[in-house]
Amino acid sequence: MAENIHIMGIVNLTPDSFFEGSRVQGADATARIRKMWEEGAQIADLGACSTRPGSPQPSLEEEWRRLEPVLQDIAPFVTPGSISIDTYRAEIVRRSYGIIGPFLVNDVSAGTLDPQMLSTVGQLGLPYVAMHMRGTPQTMQGCTDYSDITEDVLAYFRDFALQAADAGIREWILDPGFGFAKTLEQNYELLRGMERLLELGRPILAGLSRKSMIYKALGITPLEAMPATQVLQFAALERGATWLRSHDVKEAVQTARLYSRIYTSSPGAAK
């Protein structure tokens, strides 16, 4: 697999994430994290607050109640760059840092849902994933009025780049936000034009795994959406993504390896 392709495995510490197979708690979560690393994930992404469309948001203390025991459990063997935490709350970032030290912050709101988020990340010197979203998880699917989805997302991140610099965030990854404040067709339009986002000079993370843009388009369930997920992950790599966020690490690694074999293997490389 090409060295510049990274796999982020999804670990949902929630009772209501849209894909039931991703939900784990306690010791099962620790086992899932270890398995993802063994399968080739560079990072296990822990989320204790579902952000699927329309999902009710737990309180900060409820999010922390789900997350803290897992962080305490994995703290002795976490290495730098091996964990990300999927949260939009600065206080969760601060508390998590106190247990496991540096990690990657994965924020679906790019700082819009907590005015302290960007300054907190900058002060702690943490790397950051900024995702494009409009509104909140409850309202976002009514915020889809774009003139040009790709250009609007590009403009969003041009503005974010200035905010990140002001906050002292030096290392950040761009996530186009597939499935967030976008219609089914807008998701595919954005994927087709994703190469335009490369002009910002930031790594691109594609979060496509088992999403509604797949299962609704095909008339299947999230459980049946793994093969089609691999198709879209491959398409994302072709358009410049270097991070794949996936429920299924082994399959994402296979996708990345085949992409590398086609596009980066030298003539005569070992078969």
Catalytic residue annotation: 211, 245
Tokens at residue 37, please?
Answer: 């690393």
DSSP run (H or E) holding 145? none
What percent helix, strand, coil does the chain show, rounded to 5?
50, 15, 40
Residue type (1 letter), 107: D
Tokens at residue 128, please?
Answer: 């950051």
d(CA 262, CA 238): 10
Q: Which long-range contacts (CB under 8 A, 24 or more apart) does 60-63 make?
A: 60/89, 60/91, 60/92, 63/87, 63/89, 63/92
For residues 71 and 63, is the Cβ–Cβ distance under 8 A?
Answer: no
Three-class secondary structure of residue 200 per DSSP? helix
Start-end of H helices in 46-176:
60-74, 90-100, 117-124, 149-167
d(CA 233, CA 207): 8
Residue 233's nearest CA partner among 212, 202, 207 is 207
d(CA 184, CA 77): 40
Residue 251's nearest CA partner among 224, 270, 233, 271 is 233
